Amino acid sequence: MNLQETLLNHVVEAVKSTFQVELKTVEFQATRKEFAGDVTVVIFPMLRFIKENPVQIGESIGNYLMQKVDLVKGFNVVKGFLNIEISDAYYIRFFNKILEDEFFGYVKPNSNDSAVMVEYSSPNTNKPLHLGHVRNNLLGYSVAEILKASGKKVYKTQIINDRGIHICKSMLAWKLFGSGETPESAGLKGDKLVGNYYVKFDQEYKNEIKALMDSGKTEEDAKKQAPILLKAQNMLLKWEAGHAETVALWKMMNQWVYDGFDITYKNLGVDFDTLYYESNTYLLGKEFVAEGLKSGVFFKEDDGSVWCDLTDEGLDKKIVQRADGTAVYMTQDIGTAIQRVKDFPEVSGMVYTVGNEQDYHFKVLFLILKKLGFEWAKNLYHLSYGMVDLPSGKMKSREGTVVDADDLIEEMAATAEDISEELGKLDGYSNEEKQTLYKTIGLGALKYFILKVDPKKRILFDPKESIDFQGNTGPFIQYTYARIQSIIRKADFDYSTVLSDMVLNDKEKELIKQLALFPEVIQNAAETHSPALIANYTYDLVKEFNSFYQNVSILGADHLNEKIFRVQLSRKVALTIKNAFKLLGIDVPERM
């Protein structure tokens, strides 16, 4: 039970005893810095039930608490606010209770509970992962870890978009212009090689459009009639018909891409419990399109295409299958959702990590699944996020102007190296230790910069700005963690004694209060699907620790018990930083 929950019962009892009124709720808030106190009771909402002056109400409640509740050591009333001071003994008891709890704030999932499936990454197999995928992966992975820490059973998954016209474009370009090139012969990761052919297709397509327009065609007709596009469309039909040569080419090139993706995921530090492939799930989607036609959820147009009419729900009509019988994205997404619950019956909800340009798509998907009669469809959530821009502008895959994820990870480590060398903090490190540290700092900077922002907001990402050893950055927090490890290494005394009669100074008390918030922050972050709450909590904790460090002597304290307590407190802060950063997928270095 936290402090507010404990006080709630006492305040309700005080009001009942003093004013003969039974309150259902009490509004609390943190006491403002300029007033004495640890927690504030807001009196104004009580005026509906108690016809007294708010200051008098506050004084009466305060006097009652002082007489009856030993954890209250003082109070003051400012207008309609009762500021309550809590005894040191309460904070000491709380601290000793969490001292040896290695995962304080985390809740263990109950094995009988239902599960949630978090989808992220979900790339197309026609190009390497880029900066946009990086935000997607970091968000999805972090939300999955936060949900786990909040007490939920979680499966991490992705749907690999391994079929469709965009995949055929890369395949066709390789067939026409590849001369048998392989990742080995080109000395390239497979996803990059395939991505090059996607760009090549677009170049040839534009050339053909221009030639057709020069011969008198309109731009619209030229785009539809370009021979290379017609060949790609024909290749998709062949693939769906199971044409052996087309399927063999598809398998070979997709495997090149998967091998490349695996390297990127490892470097980025994300993983998955299960994988789904669009090439499998779109067929199940088509089955349910047929079911929906029978039950009247869908209808067929004269040209044979199948649609869902959502106009009564304030949306429009949505195609779920083309006239030629081929699947669209919606077909595949219907099939994938249904397949997941078939595979994992305990899944009662899903989180889809997908950019905000797909907001409408997911409104439609969730509504269609509800119309098809699936109970779990009410627990589907679209983790919608804003795009990531660079100072140089917007990225386009087909034009080859994307920021490659692998290149970005390397650049972050290189930037960390440049800044660390400038600061000259790494004397005595071996070259191997330095390289590991640069990667930890660089990747930590990237992840923190992206995750500290509310997911819905667009980000302008500047690598140099993210690697700063001051301010609200990953390296600043990592440096504070390393500083605490240094303090612990220098502590040449036994600091395992549990102390119960300490007198706390303001800085110690503020740190304990900040630590006490961690469980609630995890629950809020899980509920709102926002790693930003964890990131910014950690920054606040670090700021509080640095204020403590600058104002209170830790190893030079006058009394041994003060040294013991302050080392214990520092150690608990470090562990909380580490556990909070674990939820963001960020490592912390022992030395910096």
Spatial contact of 332 and 360, defined as CB atoms under 8 Å apart:
no
Question: Residue 388: beta bridge partners?
Answer: 459
3-state secondary structure of 353: strand
Banded pLDDT at 282 (limits 50, 70, 90): confident
Q: With 70 as the cut, is the pLDDT of residue 395 above it? A: no
Q: How far apart are the C-alpha atoms of 551 and 412, rounded to whole Å?
A: 34
Q: How far apart are the C-alpha atoms of 108 and 521, rounded to whole Å?
A: 16
Q: Which residues contact 70 (CB under 8 A, 6 or more apart)?
A: 87, 89
Read off the pLDDT of residues 141-174 as tens digits, 9 standing for 90 and up: 999 999 999 999 999 999 998 988 999 999 999 9
Q: How far apart are the C-alpha atoms of 529 and 382, rounded to whole Å?
A: 10
Q: With 90 as the cut, is the pLDDT of residue 389 above it? A: no
**Cβ neighbourhood burial of 238 (10 Å; 0-12, 13-18, 19+):** middle
Show the tokens assigned to 218: 């309109």
Read off the pLDDT of residues 462-481 as tens digits, 9 standing for 90 and up: 877 888 888 899 999 999 99
With tokens 């990454």, the residue in question is 121
Q: How far apart are the C-alpha atoms of 254 and 359, rounded to whole Å?
A: 28
Q: With 50 as the cut, is the pLDDT of residue 398 above it? A: no
Q: How far apart are the C-alpha atoms of 581 and 108, rounded to whole Å?
A: 18
Average pLDDT over residues 392-411: 68
Average pLDDT over residues 42-57: 95
459-460 and 299-300 strand pairing: unpaired
Torsion sign over Cα 275, 278, 282, 288: positive
Q: Average per-residue pLDDT in the chain?
A: 93
Backbone φ and ψ for 22, nearest 5 degrees, come out as -100, 110
> Which among 432, 517, 430, 419 has a CA at the least distance from the CA of 475?
419
Read off the pLDDT of residues 503-561 as tens digits, 9 standing for 90 and up: 999 999 999 999 999 999 999 999 999 999 999 999 999 999 999 999 999 999 999 99
CATH number of 445-583: 1.10.730.10
Q: How far apart are the C-alpha atoms of 519 and 150, rounded to whole Å?
A: 8
Residue 65 pLDDT: 97
Per DSSP, 483 falls in state: H
What amino acid occupies position 273? D
Banded pLDDT at 400 (limits 50, 70, 90): very low
What amino acid occupies position 305? S
Of 40-49, 104-113, 307-316, the one with minimum mean pLDDT is 104-113
Spatial contact of 49 and 59, defined as CB atoms under 8 Å apart:
no
Banded pLDDT at 264 (limits 50, 70, 90): very high
> Which among 509, 578, 586, 520 has a CA at the least distance from the CA of 102?
578
Q: With 90 as the cut, is the pLDDT of residue 570 above it? A: yes
Provide the percentage of residues in the chain whose pLDDT is more than 70. 98
Residue 473 pLDDT: 93
Banded pLDDT at 1 (limits 50, 70, 90): low
Backbone φ and ψ for 76, nearest 5 degrees, come out as -150, 150
Strand order from edge to edge, sheet including 72-78: 27-30, 39-42, 81-86, 72-78
Q: Check residues 400 and 31 and name the one with the higher pLDDT.
A: 31
Banded pLDDT at 220 (limits 50, 70, 90): very high
Q: How far apart are the C-alpha atoms of 343 and 115, rounded to whole Å?
A: 12
Residue 397 pLDDT: 43
Please report, for the chain, the start and end positions of each structural domain, with discontinuous segments joined by +. Answer: 3-86, 120-389, 445-583
3-state secondary structure of 273: coil
Count H helices and E strands in the chain, helices first. Answer: 21, 14
Q: Would you say domain 120-389 falls under CATH 3.30.70.1170?
A: no
Q: Check residues 399 and 269 and name the one with the higher pLDDT.
A: 269
Q: With 80 as the cut, is the pLDDT of residue 177 above it? A: yes
Average pLDDT over residues 370-386: 96
Average pLDDT over residues 46-56: 94
Residue 33 pLDDT: 87
Provide the percentage of residues in the chain whose pLDDT is more than 90. 83
With tokens 């409408």, the residue in question is 360
Q: How far apart are the C-alpha atoms of 570 and 577, rounded to whole Å?
A: 11
CATH number of 3-86: 3.30.1360.70
The vertex-473 CA angle with 470 and 476, nearest 5°, equals 50
